[in-house]
């Protein structure tokens, strides 16, 4: 089966002083989704974007907002990110007491639900979530920062989850996030990923390079 490969640039690597313009630039450059990394300085050692910024960015593109929440406790913020314009909300099992409940909550808001596994979190975590999720995200770096190196053994996890998804017969996207560049992108795709998050590799070279960067990441 050939799957379409989607590119979701992480705006963590964009120029934060010109975020609206940057989102329009990646839209015009052909991205599929916009990956928004939300960090709280507690669940991860960095602080980034809140629902107010997501809301302010919403008029700048019609492409889906893929909101990766790295905040704990996460549940009390789900409504705010849905109202701000998230199309997909992805949560870490470690970020709240009841991941199954968090997934149901996201779906009840009319938003697609994703679960994200840290490098040390096993694929087995998905056994009783796979029936409900729309997206599974494999972190190929420890969350918190852009520009880190790809952790090789996550390819094995991607391959294992690809098998689980195919066996489920459900329409679930398999996303990879962290250290994705022109070398690691084809390897992640080969292992079974079909949505690539890329911050550094998308935004390198300034707006004139975004279209080329996105095309190369897609394998074109
Ligand atoms: C890390 C974030 C990533 C990050 C990826 O915590 O979840 O989305 O921005 O950055 P690169 O592509 O530079 O590794
Ligand atoms: Zn992310």
Over residues 104-128, the pLDDT tens digits come to 999 999 999 999 999 999 999 999 9
Which residue among 32, 66, 177, 194 is the active-site one?
177
Over residues 86-101, the pLDDT tens digits come to 999 999 999 999 999 9
Do the domain assignments include residue 203?
A: yes
**Residue range 138-163: mean pLDDT, rounded:** 98
Give the helix ranges, DSSP H, for the chain.
Answer: 19-28, 51-57, 78-84, 99-108, 154-168, 184-191, 200-203, 210-218
Residue 3 pLDDT exceeds 60 = yes
Number of separate domains in the chain: 1
Do the domain assignments include residue 117?
A: yes
- Please give the Cα distance from 216 to 220 (Å, whole number): 5
CATH of the domain at 53: 3.20.20.70
The SS3 assignment for 148 reads coil
**Residue range 151-158: mean pLDDT, rounded:** 98
**Residue 34: its pLDDT value, please?**
99
Q: How far is the CA of 128 from the centre of ligand 2 (A)?
A: 23
**Residue 112: its pLDDT value, please?**
99
Do the domain assignments include residue 18?
A: yes
**Phi, psi of 177, rounded to the nearest 5 degrees:** -145, 120
The parent domain of residue 51 ranges over 6-218
Whether residue 179 is annotated as binding a ligand: the answer is yes
Confidence of residue 220 (pLDDT cuts 50, 70, 90): confident
> What are the distances in angstroms from CA 66 to CA 15, 49, 159?
18, 13, 22
**Residue 169: its pLDDT value, please?**
97
Share of the chain above pLDDT 70, in %: 99
Instruction: Kindly report the protein residue whose alpha carbon is nearest to atom 4 of ligand 1.
Output: 146
Residue 39 pLDDT exceeds 70 = yes
Do the domain assignments include residue 1?
A: no
**Residue 46: its pLDDT value, please?**
98
Catalytic residue flag (residue 177): yes
Do the domain assignments include residue 162?
A: yes
Catalytic residue flag (residue 37): yes
Q: Ligand 1, closest atom to CA 44?
A: 6
Whether residue 37 is annotated as binding a ligand: the answer is yes
37 lines ligand 1 (CB under 6 A): yes
Residue 56 pLDDT exceeds 70 = yes
Mean residue pLDDT of the chain comes to 98
**Residue range 156-163: mean pLDDT, rounded:** 98
92 lines ligand 1 (CB under 6 A): no
73 lines ligand 1 (CB under 6 A): no
Over residues 162-219, the pLDDT tens digits come to 999 999 999 999 999 999 999 999 999 999 999 999 999 999 999 999 999 999 999 9
């Amino acid at each position: 089966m050939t799957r379409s490969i989607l590119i979701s640039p992480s705006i963590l690597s964009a120029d934060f002083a010109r975020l609206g313009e940057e989102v329009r630039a990646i839209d015009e450059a052909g991205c599929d989704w916009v990956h928004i990394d939300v960090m709280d300085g507690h669940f991860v050692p960095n602080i980034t974007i809140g629902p107010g910024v997501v809301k302010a960015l919403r008029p700048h593109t019609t492409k889906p907002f893929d909101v990766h929440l790295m905040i704990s406790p996460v549940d009390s913020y789900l409504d705010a990110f849905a109202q701000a314009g998230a199309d997909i909300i992805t949560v870490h099992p470690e970020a709240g007491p009841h991941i199954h409940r968090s997934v149901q909550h996201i779906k009840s808001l009319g938003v697609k639900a994703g679960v994200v596994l840290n490098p040390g979190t096993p694929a087995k975590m998905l056994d009783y979530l796979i029936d409900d999720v729309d997206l599974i995200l494999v972190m190929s770096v420890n969350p918190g920062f852009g520009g880190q190196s790809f952790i090789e053994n996550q390819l094995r996890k991607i391959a294992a989850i690809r098998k689980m998804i195919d066996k489920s017969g459900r329409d679930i996207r398999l996303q990879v996030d962290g250290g994705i560049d022109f070398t690691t992108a084809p390897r992640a795709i080969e292992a079974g990923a079909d949505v690539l998050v890329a911050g550094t590799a998308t935004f390198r070279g300034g707006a004139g390079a975004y279209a080329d960067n996105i095309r190369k990441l897609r394998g074109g």
